[in-house]
Amino acid sequence: MFRKVLFPTDFSEGSHRAVKQFEERNDVPVGEVVLLHVIDEGVLEELTNGYSLLYEKEELELEEIKKKLEEKTMEKLQAKIEDVKKAFKTDKVKPIVRFGFPWEEIVKVAEEEDVSLIILPTHGKLGFSKELLGSTAMRVVKTTLRPVLLLKPSKGDEE
């Protein structure tokens, strides 16, 4: 039995396929799934960069934006919980939203939650070229001391 599994999602098709692949191939029950989404600080900075001149209180505006992003992201995670329960054969799913660099937050949450396995798709939003050039998955593998299961799309899924 997997005691606690960390499944980070970027809500991409690659993440969806990884869940389905795990469901099809795994016969071992999972005690708990930590369902994580990391809101990329780099992307957030790019979105707000240059708009600071429009705001009198830039920090308050940024906090409001972050709060709304966190709420919307948590709603998306909540909507995935039943599918995750079914796929991982568990009744316990803990959704978490973090801000930061995805690979760093994945490693931090894995430690904080004391997970027994991290499951990562190799093809997320950025696709195959990003994978070869230092993807989130590869950075997690190089950094964490936790076991990592990389799920690569089957040949029919890559198209």
Q: What percent of the chain has pLDDT over 90?
A: 51
Show me where the domains of the chain are located: 2-40+74-151
Indicate the range of 5-14, 57-66, 108-117, 137-146 predicted with least confidence: 57-66
Amino acid residing at 73: T
With 70 as the cut, is the pLDDT of residue 156 above it?
no
With 80 as the cut, is the pLDDT of residue 53 above it?
no
Which pLDDT value is given to residue 52? 57
CB-count exposure of residue 110 (10 Å: 0-12, 13-18, 19+): buried
Contact 118, 149 (CB under 8 A): yes
**Which residues lie across from 94 on neighbouring strands?**
34
Which pLDDT value is given to residue 126? 47
Contact 100, 41 (CB under 8 A): yes
Among 3.40.50.300, 3.40.50.740, 3.30.565.10, 3.40.50.620, name the CATH number for the domain at 2-40+74-151: 3.40.50.620
Task: State the average pLDDT for the chain.
Answer: 83
The pTM of the full predicted model, rounded to 2 decimals, is: 0.84
Other C-beta atoms closer than 10 Å to the C-beta of 26 total 16
Q: What percent of the chain has pLDDT over 70?
A: 80
Which pLDDT value is given to residue 107? 97
Top-confidence residue, 101 or 54: 101
Which pLDDT value is given to residue 84? 93
**Which residues lie across from 111 on neighbouring strands?**
none
